[in-house]
């Protein structure tokens, strides 16, 4: 398998890139600037590409992002503290974000003659992001098969592209375990939605990240501004 | 119905915009600059938006287009002369173009609280563009339903968006007829792939346009550089 990996620079997609590099090969890493306030994550995707010696492509979708209103990731809305399982986290949904990123990824994959597009969607995302659910992923793959059918008969590209989502039915704890298995430099990944100097330790993705290492029985090398908050939230969510 | 219309500035999508304006209302027209050599078409979409008194949004995808290699519309490959039904026309396919444009359209439609995204794909496109076929359109609509499911419960947007493709099972002749029915200013639309001062009269889309008005029994007000070529190609294709 030669895969284009959609890579945000976060723990999940960087671990996926290492997994793909081990199992097969990379055609490139693909990142998107959609105006997210934590776009510093893209620098971490660039580091990953350098470490894995593969091209890094950054697509500027900030113009599109500015039109996708209503998300705390792109608009002037506070990022909520707490656990992903909470209703309040729905304000972090960017409408149709994954579908947009994935169609561009499939377009680029045809030109790169990749066999697969790899996405790090995982089971823990399903609560709040409709475009991370298995139903969506399956329907997307079907749509792409029709969209590219017959193309490589005449053009200098590949139309037979798999959507590779090995974490779709797994949770972030398994991704944390894989990060150890594939020797991922975890401190060189960025999750926090607030995009400040340090991981805040309070937003949904910080809490989830810290919890995942805890549940995996692994040390989390990340430096959090608030090191205690996650425990109070996680115990609340699990009550 | 309040629809966002994906509008290239060509005869088909401008006619569709007039049809939607008559049947319901427009939330906006959406055009894309993907590095097509005939991006002057976007000016014609702008004229249409002005005529119909609706916002015109132009998304710059030229960076994406530069990565989608192998198409005569974006690369340094000659635009072929002839009829769309010919094999040679496959070099005008831009891989995954429609899927990319449509996912962005659906994202914007949620923010605009539109009920529908309207696309002017039509039966005559099926020969060469896999992402214009009914199978693709149906799979795309299914994918979008999953991608947006549940979003409007909490966010300031609409997730119940129809994909409106009234020309999917019709041909360009019927679009030409509709252009007369809805009083479309046909001379204010642009089809030619070569993007020069005048419509060339020789490329696939010029030939198809001229043929459609002929078959509809309507006068074509378009000024073509070559006014005769289409007849020789059409008679050949129909033999």
Angle at CA of residue B17, ends B212 and B224, nearest 5°: 35
Cβ-contact B16, B43 below 8 angstroms: no
Q: Report the pLDDT value the prediction gives residue B129, as an integer from 0 to 100.
A: 84
Residue B109 within any structural domain of the chain: yes
CA distance B197 to B40: 10
In a domain, B179, yes or no: yes
Domain count, chain B: 1
CATH number of the domain bearing residue B105: 3.40.50.620
Nearest-CA distance from B161 to chain A in Å?
Answer: 12
Pick the closest to residue B42 from B179, B180, B184, B189 (CA basis). Answer: B189
For residue B167, the model assigns a pLDDT of: 97
Pairwise CB contact (< 8 Å): A139 & B136: no
What is the distance between the alpha carbons of residues A42 and A31, in angstroms, rounded to a whole number? Answer: 7
Q: What is the pLDDT of residue A118?
A: 98
Q: Please indicate whether residue B211 or residue B79 has the higher confidence score (pLDDT).
A: B211
Q: Which residues of A touch B60 (CB under 8 A)?
A: 63
Backbone torsions φ then ψ of A23, nearest 5 degrees: -80, -30
Q: Which is higher by pLDDT, B32 or A236?
A: B32
Give the chain B residue nearest A143 (alpha carbons): B139
Report pLDDT for B156: 58
Residue B234 domain-assigned (yes or no) = no
Asked if the structure places residue B123 within a domain, the reply is yes
pLDDT (0 to 100) of residue A239: 47
Domain-embedded: residue B71:
yes
Q: Tell me the C-alpha distance between B7 and B10, whole Å.
A: 7
Sign of CA dihedral B223, B227, B229, B232: positive
Of B59, B68, B156, the CB nearest to A63: B59
Q: What is the pLDDT along chain A (239 residues), one digit of tens a residue?
A: 999 999 999 999 999 999 999 999 999 999 999 888 788 899 999 999 999 999 999 999 999 988 887 777 777 778 788 887 777 777 777 889 999 999 999 999 998 999 999 999 998 877 778 888 999 999 999 999 999 988 765 555 667 899 999 999 999 999 999 999 999 999 999 999 888 899 999 998 999 999 999 999 999 999 999 999 999 988 765 54
Residue of B150, B71, B206, B103 lying closest to A87 (CA atoms)? B150
Torsion sign over Cα A72, A77, A78, A84? negative
The answer for residues whose C-beta is within 8 angstroms of residue A147's C-beta and 6 or more apart is A106, B96, B98, B99, B130, B131, B136, B140
Say which range, A139-148, B73-82, B191-200, has the weakest mean pLDDT: B73-82
Q: Identify whether B103 is part of a domain.
A: yes
Query: Is residue B155 in a domain?
Result: yes
pLDDT tens digits, one per residue of B129-161: 888 899 999 999 999 999 998 876 555 566 789
Given A98, A106, A147, which is nearest B136 (Cβ)? A147
- How far is the alpha carbon of B9 from chain A, nearest alpha carbon, in Å? 20
Q: What is the pLDDT of residue A162?
A: 95
Residue position matching structure tokens 């043929």? B211
For residue A130, report the phi and psi dihedrals to the nearest 5 degrees: -60, -25
Partner-chain contact B154 A98, CB within 8 Å = no
Residue numbers of the domain that contains A146? 2-237
The closest alpha carbon to B192, from B218, B166, B230, belongs to: B230
Residues within 8 A of B (CB atoms), A 114-133 only: 130-131, 133
Q: What is the mean pLDDT of chain B?
A: 90
Q: Within a domain: residue B197?
A: no
Provide the edge-to-edge strand list for the sheet that holds B2-6. B56-60, B25-33, B2-6, B116-118, B162-164
Chain A contact for B60 (CB, 8 A cutoff): yes
Worst-scoring range by mean pLDDT, A68-77, A195-204, B184-193, B219-228?
A68-77
Residues of A in contact with B125 (CB under 8 A): none
Do A67 and B60 make contact, defined as CB atoms within 8 angstroms?
no
Cβ contact (<8 Å) for A107 and B68?
Answer: yes
Please tell me which residue of chain B has the smallest CA distance to A103.
B100
Residue A171, pLDDT score: 93
CA B177 to chain CA mean position, Å: 17
Per-residue pLDDT at B239: 47
Identify whether the C-beta of residue B225 lies closer than 8 Å to the C-beta of residue B198: yes
Q: Between B90 and B162, whose confidence is greater?
A: B162
């Amino acid at each position: 398998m030669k895969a284009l990996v959609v890579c945000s620079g976060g723990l999940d997609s960087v671990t996926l890139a290492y997994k793909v590099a081990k199992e097969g090969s990379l055609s490139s890493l693909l990142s998107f600037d959609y105006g997210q306030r934590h776009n510093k994550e893209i620098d971490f995707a660039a580091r990953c590409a350098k470490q894995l010696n593969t091209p890094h492509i950054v697509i500027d979708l900030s113009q599109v992002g500015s039109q996708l209103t209503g998300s705390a990731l792109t608009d002037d809305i506070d990022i909520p503290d707490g656990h992903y399982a909470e209703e309040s986290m729905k304000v972090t949904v960017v409408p149709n974000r994954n579908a947009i990123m994935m169609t561009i990824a499939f377009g680029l994959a045809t030109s790169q003659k990749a066999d697969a597009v790899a996405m790090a969607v995982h089971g823990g995302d399903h609560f709040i992001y409709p475009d991370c659910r298995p139903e969506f992923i399956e329907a997307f793959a079907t749509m792409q098969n029709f969209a590219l059918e017959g193309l490589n008969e005449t053009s200098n590209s590949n139309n037979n592209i798999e959507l590779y989502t090995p974490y779709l039915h797994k949770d972030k704890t398994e991704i944390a375990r894989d990060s150890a298995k594939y020797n991922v430099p975890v401190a060189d990944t960025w999750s926090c939605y607030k995009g400040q100097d340090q991981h805040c330790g309070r937003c949904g993705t910080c809490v989830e990240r810290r919890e995942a290492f805890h549940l995996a029985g692994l040390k989390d090398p990340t430096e959090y501004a608030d090191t205690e908050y996650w425990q109070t939230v996680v115990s609340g969510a699990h009550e």
